[in-house]
Amino acid sequence: MLDENGFKRKSYNELIYDMSEKAKELYGEDVNVSSNSVLGILFRIVAWFLSLIYELAERIYHSGFISQATGVSLDRLGANNGILRNPAAVAIVELSFTGKPNYVITEGVRFSTEDKIQFQMIDVVKIDSAGNGKGKAISLEFGPANNVGANMITKQVEPTEELTSVTNPEKAEGGTERETDKAYRERIRLSLRGNPGPPINGILTALLSVNGIRTASVVENKSMEIDKYGNPPKSIHAYVLGGVKEDVGKALFESVAAGIDTVGGQIVEVEDLGGFKHEVKFDYAKAVNIYTRVELKTDPKFEQEGSEKVKLAVINYINNLTMGEEVRFSYIYPLIYQIPGIIVADIKIGLSADNVLAKDILLDPNESAQAQLENVTVIDDVT
């Protein structure tokens, strides 16, 4: 119940016990409340429905706290503070064409990779007199799988003789899954600690508000010397994982103080209110693929889709780590053992499929761990 320690719901067994004790108080100690008696069966039916009501009451209680709320309840708490959950997003890419001069590529024309990941034009492109053209396209599907590498979009879905070739000189950006509760909760927490502005927390708040950014870090050089990372004096070097380049540049421009240099290999031109253009620089975090090998001993309770649940548990843990956070193999065990039917689990992780160990992985401040289904191996030894 609700007391100075918070809300504690009664379990199914506790409800049966309470009703049995009440029956003994009213009808005597020798009253039959066993599971096979009429009274005992009735108690168990009522207790089951009451346990659902208690569970609902617990969820309602927790829905008022950012640290405990989930799903729509967490969305509403974030919206109260002007912080919305990042939805799933498509990837954006600039395509480069060669073809017949003056040929026009209209909106909606599709191109794809060898793996049939399709992109659709959002610009109208006219091939110039030299036979070249450029324009932007977006992926047809949502998610990070659409952030394909450079020079991978080379196929015409609707081939035409007027186009000789198509490619993407740079990788696609911006494709993300819907933000998880854990990532959204952490972003709300960080945003409430600082408003967008020159302080480090303010810059992080601005960056984490950009749609598609999963995590971010800022390296500040306040000295008059070049720091150990090679950053010039009085500079800010921002690292982000995800997000469209132009959106990241704008967020940095609006949060970094005037006179402070920004550093990085990604360069964005941002226009101020007076119409003057400024260069903003940053870098994307280096995504480090983590390979995981899980050896299981299971019993018949381990369902047919149990291996997929194990893989998803591993992926959810690794992909929700912040930039530079250490990957701890032991943290995966509690997540694995929640899956019914697992007797013993042996977990090893590594930077390659051929070299996995029961050892944590240290990352640099500009590195972010990522896991994919094909990089998680589950071996089930049924007992």
Strand order in the sheet with 355-357: 355-357, 342-352, 291-298, 376-382
d(Cα 291, Cα 307) in Å, to the nearest integer? Answer: 16
What was the pLDDT predicted at 78? 84
Has residue 198 got a pLDDT over 80? no
Indicate the length of the chain as a whole number. Answer: 383
- Name the residue among 349, 362, 354, 374 with its Cα closest to residue 290: 349
What average pLDDT does this structure show over 198-211?
80
CA 294 – CA 317 distance, rounded (Å): 14
Residue 349: the pLDDT is 95
- The average pLDDT across 22-39 equals 90
Check residue 183 and give its pLDDT. 82
* Cα angle: 132, vertex 135, 136; to 5 degrees: 155
The string of pLDDT tens digits covering residues 83-111 is: 788 888 889 999 999 999 999 999 999 99
Task: Compute the distance between CA of residue 160 and CA of residue 302 in angstroms, rounded to an integer.
Answer: 53
**Per-residue pLDDT at 196:** 57
| Predicted TM-score (pTM) of this structure | 0.51
Full 3-state SS string of the chain: CEECCEECCCCHHHHHHHHHHHHHHHHCCCCCCCCCCHHHHHHHHHHHHHHHHHHHHHHHHHCCCCCCCCHHHHHHHHHHCCCCCCCCEEEEEEEEEEECCCCEECCCCEEEECCCCEEEECCCEECCCCCEEEEEEEEEEECHHHCCCCCCEEEECCCCCCEEEEECCCCCECCECCCCHHHHHHHHHHHHHCCCCCCHHHHHHHHHCCCCCCEEEEEEECCCCCCCCCCCCCEEEEEEECCCHHHHHHHHHCCCCCCCEEECCEEEEEECCCCCEEEEEEEECEEEECEEEEEEEECCCCCCCHHHHHHHHHHHHHHCCCCCCCECHHHHHHHHHCCCCEEEEEEEEEEECCEEECCCECCCCCEEEECCHHHEEEEEEEC
Number of helices (H), then strands (E), belonging to the chain: the values are 8, 21
The predicted pLDDT at position 365 comes to 77
Q: CA-based Rg of the chain, rounded to a whole angstrom? A: 28
- Looking at the predicted structure, is the pLDDT value of residue 182 above 90? no
Q: How far is CA 356 from CA 32, 258, 297, in A?
A: 58, 47, 19
Averaged confidence pLDDT in the chain: 87
Cα distance between residue 145 and residue 113, in whole Å: 12
pLDDT at 383: 53
Average pLDDT over residues 130-137: 93
Instruction: Give me the mean pLDDT over the 16-23 stretch.
Output: 92
Is 90 exceeded by the pLDDT of residue 210? no
Q: What average pLDDT score do residues 371-378 get?
A: 89
Least trusted range by pLDDT, from 10-14, 149-153, 260-264, 303-307: 303-307
Share of residues in the chain with pLDDT > 70 (%):
97
Show the tokens assigned to 34. 């066993």
- In percent, how much of the chain has pLDDT > 90? 39
- What pLDDT is attached to residue 195? 54
In this prediction, residues 229-243 reach a mean pLDDT of 87
Structure tokens at 44: 């168990």
Average confidence (pLDDT) over 51-68? 85
The yes-or-no verdict on residue 194 having pLDDT over 70 is no
- DSSP, res 34: S
- Pick 209 or 375 by higher pLDDT: 375
pLDDT bracket for residue 186 (50, 70, 90): confident
Task: State the amino acid at position 276 in one-letter form.
Answer: F
Residue 134 — very low, low, confident or very high, per pLDDT cuts 50/70/90?
very high
Tell me, what's the pLDDT at 290?
94
Across 314-333, average pLDDT: 88
pLDDT of residue 279: 92
